[in-house]
Amino acid sequence: MEIFNHNSNIPFLGMRKYSIAIAIFLMVASIALIAVKGLNYGLDFTGGVSMKVDYSKSVAISDVRDALAKGGFDRALVQSLGGTREVSIRLQPKDDPAAMSAAGKVNLDRIAADVTKALQVARPDAKLKSRDYVTAEVGAELKSDGTVAAVFVILGIMAYLWIRFERRFAIAAVATEVHDVLVTLGILALVQREFDMTVLASVLAVIGYSINDKVVVFDRIRELFRLARKAEPEEILNRSINNTLSRTIITSLFTSITMGALFFFGGTAVHGFAVTMLIGILVGTLSSIFVASPILLWLGVSKKDLMPVTRDNPELARRP
């Protein structure tokens, strides 16, 4: 299946000055947005009240959310606990102003009572099983662990590409991965989309998805470098992007359709994951086409870099 002709010759490398300038602008703007507006951290990172509620009969998550919204807790996070009769409810203390003292202390019993009352208006069989207050220190640890995980993923990708291809490919891949992550986070900061653990998971997934697109293009670059005798690096890189363009667009399109289905039919618990993935797919696809190869060209990649080492060693070349 092809959208674009395999042998098309769209001059992507001819646009490299503009594409790199736009990429740098987006990175700088994203850093500014994250620094000024900040990410809208959810309960997973800021702490809050966590409750477990039992029902004597099956209950739909949507009904629980509706009952809480009518009671004034429209920002509560509701999840099923492995069955149809027990749910987890998490919310910020500020969602119940009556339970906050003038000194900022949280009245956990008052919040639990207010939530239970709101639920029992719709379903009298709702019973509070447990309630707890999660401090912000736990959220700070999660943020730190998530940052470390993202850094290790990027460094691992760099090490793999350094071994599998060549150091210039590793540098180009890491540069574009940093671009993809920063721009994705910048968009989240701009729209103030809630940043919770599912969004963090999708950011890590974006890193993996994005590098997959780039490896496909890199592999084609290496193949064409070894096949072509007199072609210039710019021509090889441009042909590689064109050869893999249909594959890149089709893969991104069908992954986006999957994320769209997840958004519309998966429930609010996965909305953050789906939205972040959709942003990351768009950003990653564009960087694979317009950013990664221009960086490779700027780094001076050539046919010599990809030839087997034995060709340069007469002693090794004579061995069977």
Q: Which of 39-43, 148-152, 284-288 has the highest mean pLDDT?
A: 284-288
Q: What is the dihedral of CA 186, 192, 196, 201, to 10 degrees?
A: -30
Evaluate if pTM is beyond 0.85: no
Output the pLDDT for position 311: 47
197-227 tens-digit pLDDT? 889 889 988 888 888 888 888 888 888 887 8
67 and 122 Cβ atoms separated by less than 8 Å: yes
Enter the DSSP assignment of 96: S
Output the pLDDT for position 95: 66
Give me the half-sphere count of Cα atoms (radius 13 Å) on the Cβ side of residue 287: 33
Q: If we measure between CA atoms, which residue out of 120, 92, 124 comes closest to residue 108?
A: 92
Is 48-134 in the same CATH topology as 13-40+138-307? no
CATH number of the domain at 48-134, out of 3.30.70.3400, 3.30.70.3280, 3.40.50.1000, 3.40.50.970?
A: 3.30.70.3400
Output the pLDDT for position 20: 93
Q: Is the pLDDT of residue 96 over 90?
A: no
Q: What is the dihedral of CA 186, 189, 193, 198, to 10 degrees?
A: 60
42 and 55 Cβ atoms separated by less than 8 Å: no
Residue 297 pLDDT class (50, 70, 90 cuts) = confident
Q: If we measure between CA atoms, which residue out of 60, 36, 13 comes closest to residue 268?
A: 60
Q: If we measure between CA atoms, which residue out of 20, 17, 32 comes closest to residue 189?
A: 32
β pairing state of 86-91 and 77-80: antiparallel
- Which H helix or E strand runs over 54? strand 48-54
Domain 13-40+138-307: homologous superfamily in CATH? Multidrug efflux transporter AcrB transmembrane domain (1.20.1640.10)
Determine how many CB atoms are found less than 10 A away from the CB of residue 253: 13
Q: Mean pLDDT across the stretch 156-163?
A: 84
233 and 302 Cβ atoms separated by less than 8 Å: yes
Report percent pLDDT > 70 for the chain.
Answer: 88
28-57 tens-digit pLDDT? 999 999 999 998 887 778 778 889 999 998
Q: Mean pLDDT across the stretch 59-75?
A: 88
Enter the DSSP assignment of 85: S
**Residues pairing with 316 in the sheet:** none
Q: Where along the chain do its domains lie?
A: 13-40+138-307, 48-134
Q: If we measure between CA atoms, which residue out of 298, 285, 300 comes closest to residue 217?
A: 285
Q: Mean pLDDT across the stretch 258-274?
A: 86
